[in-house]
Structure 1
Amino acid sequence: MNQLQMDLIHTGKGFIAALDQSGGSTPKALLQYGIKEDSYSNEEEMFNLVHDMRTRIITSPAFTSEYILGAILFENTMDRTIHDEFTADYLWEKKGIVPFLKVDKGLAAIENGVQLMKPIPDLDNLLKHAAQKNIFGTKMRSVIKDANSEGIKDVVAQQFEIGKQIIEAGLVPIIEPEVDIHSPDKEESEKILKEELLNQLSGLRQDEKIMLKLSIPTAENFYSDLMGEPHIARIVALSGGYSQTEANEKLARNQGLIASFSRALSQGLTAQQTEEEFDAMLSSSIKAIFAASIS
């Protein structure tokens, strides 16, 4: 683990950019960017286009370590280059931004009010590969739909079990048990979730560090007591389907919680924009998300 990167993530001012849409969510990300599905005829062409989009974001003068601490990549992006450097190296060497990798393979069907992660075959090899590509940490997502104690317990247990495997590989896991923002009992789910997180954290060794990526809580500052927990390097928040304005407003009311936005970050960016228009829109988004993250 790179101590300089850890210090930056632990205490730096800024937020984490989530650039990790993959597989099934890629067409949606491209559509939002103004590229229709009939613009590409196979997966390879689709991934070329999405890499072009991410390259445009990452190389933009607006995308800077003054505002951004880290960026989460999709495996395909990690294995590609930006200006002849692997993406993670470009992020760190040229931009001073810490690289993360999404490692989950999507969600299983709903059971007990939650969606666990699908199995991640060959995770050890992926983690070795990530370490060779100078990745600092990982991210994996589960979803909580209902305040079902058994389901939520299973979600957190699975996240920590795989999280320990990631720690063993020398990387820092971002554990993401998302609570659906449309859940009718979201606040109750968050209470059960916090309890389970505390249970699992108490079982970690002193030197084991994780990050948490959580939905912006219904009760303001609900996760404040987790922020001083010695095993937690940082708590970041997902936008979860809120518009950028709404996500920023909610985030700003939670001291110490920083953004890790995906759709809310790329909102308003299109392939058709000139460089000036694109950079201006991205700069405006980044500054607004930064302001909400440091409030």
Structure 2
Amino acid sequence: MQERHFEQMKNEDGFIAALDQSGGSTPKALALYGISEDAFANDDEMFDLVHEMRTRIITSPAFNSGQIIGAILFEQTMDREIEGMYTGDYLAEKKGVVPFLKVDKGLAEESNGVQLMKPINDLDETLKRANERNIFGTKMRSVIKEANPEGIKAVVDQQFEIGQTIIEAGLVPIIEPEVNINSPEKEKCEELLKAEIQSHLDQLGQDDHVMLKLTIPTVANTYKTLIDHPKVVRVVALSGGYPTDEANEKLAENKDLIASFSRALTQDLNVDQSDEAFNDTLQKAVDSIYRASVT
């Protein structure tokens, strides 16, 4: 299965759906979906509701492997079931969609213009469970806010250090050093980031591969050399807070860069929509993101 998934991620047209909101971002995702915080009394109820939302998305006929080639899951979602199957198995076997797992534990406090990841103390156990759940790869996010060379180097060093552990566990890491779209130094951040990533890619072992998840660059095709690097399976773009139309427009300017959108995919979905309206709304978002990803 891993080889088939590798070929799918490497070569097939489409994009990755990011369905990995964690504890901190779940209330916002539910609010956007039309479920306010007074609808749940505790975290268990909140996670039940967000799993119902994700299940509705994943089981929709609009969620299909003809356009969506991968999906990123939150750890709790990986351990839950859809129609009697673990979520990763349902995605792979019923939908033909490659499952990924978010493994980071959130962001540390800002230092040197960046936010590193908090320690991932249970990473080995998480990777073991991910393999048992037939997960193909992982995702972990850092944030860059300023063009500080020391800070950006620290972000990329940390990402690739943990990425090596993930590779050794037999999974493909998605390295995600997000550049904040509101940074006044965004273009300079991207230049520094590209150089650091390039250096680390060149040091990977012969059989090592990674994916990259990057903010859509200010200058189109900034990351084309990374996309073409032999150690890179695929480079995907986060929407970064851009609304769907703007994110799609910017994405389409970048050759061979595909989407891995979260909010831009689900922003118009609502818990009170009929199944017909829900599926139609999701299909329109999928169509638009797919077009931008293959342009």
Paired amino acid for 1:97: V
Paired amino acid for 2:224: S
Q: Which runs of 4+ in 1 moved over 6 A?
A: none
Which deviations, in whole Å up to 9, do the C-alpha atoms of 1:13-69 show, x marking residues without a partner?
000000000111000000000000000001000000000000000000000001000
Q: Which residue of 2 aligns with 1:171?
A: 171
Task: Give matches, 1:188-207, under 5 Å.
Answer: 188-207=188-207
User: d(CA) in 2 for partners of 1:9 and 1:185?
Assistant: 32
User: d(CA) in 2 for partners of 1:150 and 1:246?
Assistant: 31
CA RMSD of superposed structures (Å): 0.6
Task: Give matches, 1:1-295, under 5 Å.
Answer: 2-295=2-295
User: d(CA) in 1 for partners of 2:229 and 2:253?
Assistant: 21
Identity %: 63
Paired amino acid for 1:151: G
Paired amino acid for 2:213: K
Count of residues in Structure 1 that have an aligned counterpart in Structure 2: 295
Paired amino acid for 1:117: M
Paired amino acid for 2:112: N
Which deviations, in whole Å up to 9, do the C-alpha atoms of 1:163-193 show, x marking residues without a partner?
0000000000000000000000100000000
Once the two structures are TM-superposed, the CA of residue 267 in structure 1 deviates from its matched residue by 1.0
Paired amino acid for 2:22: S
User: d(CA) in 1 for partners of 2:122 and 2:35?
Assistant: 33
User: d(CA) in 2 for partners of 1:226 and 1:211?
Assistant: 10
Once the two structures are TM-superposed, the CA of residue 202 in structure 1 deviates from its matched residue by 1.2
SS of residue matched to 1:106 = coil
Which deviations, in whole Å up to 9, do the C-alpha atoms of 1:70-109 show, x marking residues without a partner?
0000000000000000000000000000000000000000
Q: TM-score, normalised by structure 1?
A: 0.99
Once the two structures are TM-superposed, the CA of residue 227 in structure 1 deviates from its matched residue by 1.4
SS of residue matched to 2:134 = coil
Once the two structures are TM-superposed, the CA of residue 292 in structure 1 deviates from its matched residue by 0.1
Once the two structures are TM-superposed, the CA of residue 226 in structure 1 deviates from its matched residue by 1.2
Paired amino acid for 2:53: M
Structure 1 unaligned blocks of 5 or more: none
User: d(CA) in 2 for partners of 1:11 and 1:153?
Assistant: 30
